[in-house]
Amino acid sequence: MNHRSSSKPMLYTLGFLFCLISAFAVFFTGVKVGADKVEAKYEKLNADGQSSESFAYYRQTDLVTFYHNVFSPYREFKRNWNEQVDLLVRGSGADRTEILKNLRNSANSAYSQVTQDSIFDESPLLKQGQLNILKSLRLFSEAAGKASSSSGKEQAVKALKNGELAAGAVRYGLLAQSNYYASMLKWGSQKNSAIPSETGDLKIIPLAKWNKMPLLLKNAAIAEIMRNRGIFENYEPQDVTAKIDNLIRSGKAASLKLKDIQSITSLLVSTGALRENDFSRWRQQYYSKETLPQLSFFYD
């Protein structure tokens, strides 16, 4: 009788320990595969969209809706993320805990602002872009959370700039940007027969070929280059396009013996020559006759 009574506390203790270990295992497994579970409810819609691309139609109203409901909140988030991470890197007296808290709150706030209902059924690339932005924001939130548990500033910076979660967030964000600019290209091809619907081979773009490309094709090509190179900055593809065109038209590209767009892009990125809203500086001068959707960042 006494043996049975004394065994009950032991059983309770073992049960409690088992539950505790299971909880920790579930938590760490959830962190490890977080990206796979983010926005799972959209995956079927995304797959359906990919199979129906040949029947897709890209309307200007959809491009405008995507801009206001998806891309613009993400654009503001990206600017704030880059500024806060830079502040943390410089360590200019800012409180690390407060910065990391702001970063996570910013990602969560942007996530709640982005439209989560599927509203682009006839435009698969926009549907994919919506999904990729939601995934990106969720991973940015998780990256900030992981950085908050780091032991010091260096570890926090490493988690935010080179960590697996942050790297995944950047990849999804740049993929979403590429989706959006590819959508604009498809819209343009439906408006103007001189505009192709696909970017084609982007391995090397000679200057002679670039100079004959319409603006929407240039922008889509730059969005792909930015995605491939992991360029997650505040400037947009059209800003890079405009800077490249100015470098070519001013004769500086020739004087520097630059022969393709990839090498020019590398130079501009490495020298920090690119700025947000560079496109607006040369819009009237270079692009007044180009086919463009009525999106705010083309006309600001």
Average pLDDT by consecutive 10-residue portion of the chain (300 residues)? 49 51 44 48 48 68 96 97 92 80 96 89 94 98 93 88 95 98 97 94 93 98 97 98 97 96 97 96 96 93
Joined tokens for residue 49: 């969209």
CA distance 24 to 225: 41
Tokens representing 294 are 């009525």
Contact partners, residue 218, CB within 8 Å, separation at least 6: 210, 241, 244, 245
| The predicted structure's pLDDT at residue 26 | 41
Count up the domains in the chain and report the number: 2
> Dihedral through CA 216, CA 136, CA 233, CA 242, nearest 10?
0
Whole-number pLDDT of residue 28: 41
By residue range, what is the domain housing residue 245?
199-299
Among residues 69, 143, 131, 132, which one has the least CA distance to residue 106?
A: 143
Decide if 77 is inside a domain: yes
Do 213 and 221 meet the contact criterion of CB atoms below 8 Å apart? yes
248 C-beta neighbours (distance < 10 Å), count: 17
pLDDT (0 to 100) of residue 5? 47
Domain boundary, last residue among 187, 212, 228 = 187
pLDDT score at 150: 83
Q: CA–CA separation, 290 vs 288, rounded Å?
A: 6
pTM for this entry? 0.84
Residue that terminates a domain, selected from 187, 215, 248 = 187
Kindly state whether residues 94 and 170 are assigned to the same domain: yes
Last residue of a domain, one of 154, 187, 220: 187
Position 39 scores a pLDDT of 47
